[in-house]
Amino acid sequence: MAVMLRLEKITAGFTDENIISDISLYIDEGEVVTIIGPNGAGKSTLMKTIFGLTKLRGGKIYFEDQEITGKKTDELVRLGVAYVPQERNIFASLTVKENLEMGAYVIKGKIADKLESILEIFPMLRGRIGQRAGTMSGGEQKMLAIGRAMVVEPSLLLLDEPSAALSPKIMDQLFAKIKEINELGTTIMMVEQNARKALAISERGYILEMGRNRFEGPARSLLDDADVCRLYLGRGR
């Protein structure tokens, strides 16, 4: 299986402060890989660093064997990388359709077929197509944000806390959609506080602590590891 994304000893942060240090990881084509860890571990910073949104001070990033270290976000999108941040991930004053069209800004020509493919994945958006995005529920907005990222048909989808602030029912629906997107051919890397549910649909996982790799391995092994459960997954196994 080909490696899609590879990070080598990444150190990055904001202004003069490093948030993550010497992080190395990889994602194989077709995988779902989840990054977990306590608050402040650097998970979101890692995601932003991959997408060129932090100050990279060391290390290299490769996507499909091409070095992408330091590339701008629009270049990454054209290469096949899409990113859905935890917050401010929709245009509240625009309609659902307009939000989806904004996701296609790097595409030349007609996009009707691409929008239709998104509505097939997220049929709940079809009935909201002319509705202003800011008036929808939190779950609908999250699915719109993912749908907008998927318009460009990325090879790699980066999701930062996709289940944040969602009810358990909507959370389950969202994780099912994430798995469906993966089964349709998109490799997925996500940062997620709901570690158990995320690892349950993942092939592998990484655990960050204080900006560094602490554990890594098959998702099932992490879920079954007593120390991992005690330190990072809460009660129960």
pLDDT tens-digit map of 29-60: 999 999 999 999 999 999 999 999 999 999 99
Helix (H, G, I), strand (E, B) or coil at 183: helix
Query: Closest by alpha carbon to 189, among 178, 180, 173?
Result: 178
- At 68 the pLDDT is 97
Burial of residue 189, with CB atoms counted within 10 A of its CB: 0-12 exposed, 13-18 middle, 19 or more buried: buried
Q: Is the pLDDT of residue 236 over 70?
A: no
Q: Is the pLDDT of residue 237 over 80?
A: no
Locate 176 and state its tokens. Answer: 């099912």
Per-residue pLDDT of 55-103, as tens digits, reads 999 999 999 999 999 899 999 999 999 999 998 889 999 999 999 999 9
Locate 11 and state its tokens. Answer: 């150190």
- At 128 the pLDDT is 94
Q: Is the pLDDT of residue 181 over 90?
A: yes
Query: What Å distances lie between residue 187 and 60, 84, 90, 166, 231, CA to CA?
Result: 20, 14, 22, 23, 28
Query: What Å distances lie between residue 164 and 168, 211, 232, CA to CA?
Result: 10, 21, 17
Domains of the chain and any CATH numbers: 3-90+155-233 (3.40.50.300)
Contact status, residue 111 vs residue 151, Cβ threshold 8 Å:
yes
Q: How confident is the model at residue 235 (pLDDT cuts 50, 70, 90)?
A: low
Rounded CA separation 15/143 (Å): 32
pTM, rounded to two decimals: 0.94
